[in-house]
Amino acid sequence: MAAGLAGAMAAPNLFAYVGLDGTLTFGASTYQNGVGGEFNALTTGLGSFASFCIEDGENIGQPPSGPYTYTINNGAVQGGGVGGGANAIDPYTGLPMDNISRGTAWLFSQFSAGTLTLDTGLGSYFDVNRLANAGELQQAIWYLEDENNGVDNGYVSLAQSALGGLTLAQVEADSGGAYGVVALNLFDSNGNLAQDQLAVVPEPTTAGCFLLGLGALVCCQRFTQKRSS
């Protein structure tokens, strides 16, 4: 790990640092819709779960593929294709980072819990039309994250309504780690940035304290120690 973290940027998207928290492999998915989720993620640190892309402009290998290394983070490194989207700086790469939106965090938390409805607020996302629903949910996530292929569809409206009638700007605002939803910043075997994925971090965990504030100092020290090893 120390050898992998040493050195400086070697190319525009190539980093000597290639992920701190684990590895991720994509399995084949029944509900992958085009170039978006659902993707079946198999990780060393967070178990197995279905995920969605945060970014539209980066790539992963067509599943099954991997392994990728990942870092748990607040948002997508170099994310945001339409309006830029960047609202933070990634502490590890120094690149602009688009933090996960409040709307995305709510939608993905509902999906992960198995309680997400159809975009009307009725029925279940997990019905016989799940493949089509996955495509619509992916487009909503991309829209909320300012990505190029995002669509302001019923799932965007559902998030606004469920969160108390928030404005679009409010549901696009930084989630602040709400619902335990995090970004997994992916890196391929050469250290290049790959398409970041959504995940839920169970509490309490070290990664969770990194995102939720009270334990931020402790967790930042952990990452700093790894980077300086």
Strands (DSSP E) along 47-192, which ranges? 48-51, 65-73, 75-77, 88-89, 96-99, 181-187
- Apex CA 112: angle with CA 28 and CA 97, to 5°? 85
In a 3-state reduction of DSSP, which class is residue 9? coil
Please give the pLDDT value at position 218.
Answer: 35
Residue 35 CA to residue 53 CA, distance in Å, equals: 9
pLDDT score for 84: 64
> What's residue 203's pLDDT?
67
Closest CA to 96 of 84, 83, 78, 80: 78
Task: Tell me which residue range forms the domain holding 184.
Answer: 2-227
pLDDT band with cut points at 50, 70 and 90 for residue 206: very low
Q: What is the pLDDT, as a whole number, of residue 7?
A: 26
130's CB contacts (< 8 A; 6+ apart) are: 31
Domains held by the chain: number: 1
Residue 183's closest CA among 203, 200, 169?
200
pLDDT of 87 strictly over 60: yes
Residue 227 above 50 pLDDT? no
pLDDT in tens, 88-99: 999 888 889 999
Determine the pLDDT at residue 220: 37
Cα 129 to Cα 3: distance, rounded to the nearest angstrom: 47
What is the rounded CA–CA span in Å between residue 42 and residue 49? 7
